[in-house]
Amino acid sequence: MRLRVIAIVAAMLAVVGAGTAQAAPRLALPRPGGVSPVGTTAFHFTDTSRADPWVPSQRREMMVTLWYPAQYPGWRPTQYLTQRESELMVKELGDKSVPEDALTKVRTHSTVDALPQFRRMPLVVLSPGFTLPRATLSSLAEELASRGYVVAGIGHNYESTAITFPDGHTTECVACVAKDWVKLVQARAADVSFVLDRLVGRNPVWGGGRLIDARRIAMVGHSIGGASTAPAMLADRRIRAGAMLDGMYYLPVTGLDRPFLQFGAPVHEPGGTVDPSWDSAWREMTGWKRWITVNDGEHSMFTDQLLLCQQAGVPVPGLKIDPLRAIRVSEAYLTAFLDEHLRGMPQRLLDGPSPRYPEVRFWG
């Protein structure tokens, strides 16, 4: 799956590089569908109680971006990736013709440090795929924030191609050497609990922290982030609901009694031979649960990557689903899931097939 992600980014960046001699393609996230402007702020957290699993000589660090409903837009747009993050992603491709700042120029629909709305809001924690920056879930984050959610995207240190910290230093993917999936999901589960302590604990670090309703928290993860969702829920009962986006299960989910959504590409249909872990985990869950897949969907359909590639004018080999449609389908079902389980608003969309989304299949 990681090679598939790299191929997508490579195609996108190659076109951006080719376009610099003329007018570079405009890369932009889709406009959120909610009514609220979206603000962002970022935090550098250090868990002094834990050694980093990949660099044990250091304490565990992470970057966290918050997206939230704002009273009105701020004046500074949120940058998609930093200069150094973009440089390192380009360097991984080994193509010197690609502009180093290609991924710093993606247009977002949020602004930095906008004043948050003064009301109680549920919290959704996002964990990205392996090697991927937290920014790759920006479309989903902006959508949820525009609809009244505070969203915390975690940059798990040494597990991404690049993470830039406030002092300017940028770390790379040390975990890419070991590829210890069990260790990854265990580390991420601990990261999530630590982030919750900082956001909804006794002394919230965010100025709007008192606005977050600690009784209404969910986690959504993509790929290895999805694999980390059930372990995080089992380790921390503050997480009331969770969604797995096209990941695999590396640990048992025995005892998972809270709402859970399995949402993926056709490879994750029941009885699949590529990843039988979904069948096994499904049998262990005892709470509310749904299992849905998207016809012609693929692993990166929940992220911004496919859409950015399409905007760059390069088709992704084997891609069958329209990227914008994939994002809208994902947002519709994830918003329905969160509205039902964090806001107590029953959603018919989760009861079975819908003519609005004929590509979505229900398996349970």
Place of tokens 């359909």: 301
The stretch 153-166 carries a mean pLDDT of 97
Which stretches does DSSP call E strand in 223-272?
A: 241-245, 260-264
The pLDDT score that the predictor gives to residue 97 is 46
Q: Output DSSP code: residue 131.
A: B
The pLDDT score that the predictor gives to residue 56 is 98
Structure tokens at 249: 């299960």
The pTM assigned to this predicted structure is 0.92
Residue 21 pLDDT exceeds 70: no
Residue 23 pLDDT exceeds 80: no
Query: Given pLDDT bands bounded at 50, 70 and 90, which one contains residue 5?
Result: very low
Other residues' Cβ atoms within 10 Å of the Cβ of residue 321: 17
Query: Given pLDDT bands bounded at 50, 70 and 90, which one contains residue 314?
Result: low
Query: Which DSSP helix (H) or strand (E) runs through 310?
Result: helix 305-311
Structure tokens at 15: 């076109």
Torsion sign (Cα): 68, 108, 63, 330: positive
Residue 324 pLDDT exceeds 80: yes
Mean of per-residue pLDDT scores for the chain: 91
The stretch 49-70 carries a mean pLDDT of 98
Q: How far apart are CA 263 and CA 86, in angstroms?
A: 29
Structure tokens at 227: 């694999």
240 to 103, 125, 218, 342, 343: CA distances (angstroms): 34, 11, 6, 8, 11
Query: Given pLDDT bands bounded at 50, 70 and 90, which one contains residue 18?
Result: very low
Query: Given pLDDT bands bounded at 50, 70 and 90, which one contains residue 364?
Result: very high
Residue 10 pLDDT exceeds 70: no
- Asked if 64 and 43 count as a contact pair (C-beta separation under 8 A), the reply is yes
Percent of the chain with pLDDT over 90: 81
The pLDDT score that the predictor gives to residue 96 is 56
* 221 bridge partner residues: 127, 244
The pLDDT score that the predictor gives to residue 16 is 44
The stretch 303-328 carries a mean pLDDT of 86
Tens of pLDDT, residue by residue over 177-236, are 999 999 999 999 999 999 999 999 888 999 888 899 999 999 999 999 999 999 999 999
- Asked if 158 and 60 count as a contact pair (C-beta separation under 8 A), the reply is no
Among residues 223, 233, 139, the alpha carbon closest in space to that of 181 is found at: 223
